[in-house]
Amino acid sequence: MDTLDAAPAAARPAATPRRSRSGTTRDTRVSGQPGFVLHSYPYKETSLIVDVFTRDYGRVGLVAKGAKRPHSKLRGVLQTFQPLSLGWTGKAELRTMTDAEWVGGLLPLERNSLLCGFYLNELLVKLLARDDPHPLLWDHYVSTLNQLAHNEPAQIVLRKFETALLKETGVAAQLSKCAGTGEAVVPVKSYVVDPERGPRPAQPNDIWPAVSGQTLIDMENEDYASPATQAQSKQLMRFLLHHHLGGATLNTRQILIDLMQL
């Protein structure tokens, strides 16, 4: 399945160019780097621009020259949700892909799990700056794909990944402690989460979604057994993601809401 045809047009994440925030010098040649295709789109007549998420280099933009040619070895390899070994060269915003090999080890995503996978990819494309390494987030991504492939509850799997994404990119604070004071949240009290600072006690005039301290503790511990935690965490993550996306609409998110009430 070609990555260009892997998702409906509305579900394809927009590949928004971003500059590196790391300030590090980019390597001119990389080989054998574990990675996944997030998104690809046509470039000139026979090539593709491919957004990849790699273990040690974060999100990287690559030009796959000749990948659209019928007999290119890259054409059948550059598929989403498949573990790859990648190589590239160059220092520009878009580097040149030199190698891509299928590694294997993950079951394919199917049906609703496939759409959930595209939602993950859209989040990564829109929230990760290029060339910022996030090895822990990489581990979360691989684990999340594996859980989805094994049909674990999508609502819980996605909440865990959303929380990990905001934390690993440095835009979410620890959920079990109040912002400013550092005091532990109390299970029976009500809180709101300031998108820029973290939790604080809820006030009568708050317009942000209020959640219980127990929900925040459960989210911090990745414990979603409680129906109340599932419901409140869903509303909280919608609010936080909307803020950090600058109000931008996630196409796949809306489809998931329509189909699965996630």
Identify the burial level of 156 via C-beta atoms within 10 angstroms of its C-beta, where 0-12 means exposed, 13-18 middle and 19 or more buried: middle
Query: Quick check: 172 and 166 in contact, CB under 8 A?
Result: yes
Q: Which of 60, 148, 158 is nearest to 100 (CA)?
A: 60
State the greatest distance between any 2 C-alpha atoms of the chain, in Å, as a whole number: 64
pTM summary value: 0.84
pLDDT in tens, 169-217: 888 888 999 998 999 999 999 999 999 999 999 999 999 999 999 999 9
pLDDT band at 247 (very low <50, low <70, confident <90, very high): confident
Domains and CATH numbers, the chain: 3-102 (2.40.50.140), 153-260 (1.20.1440.120)
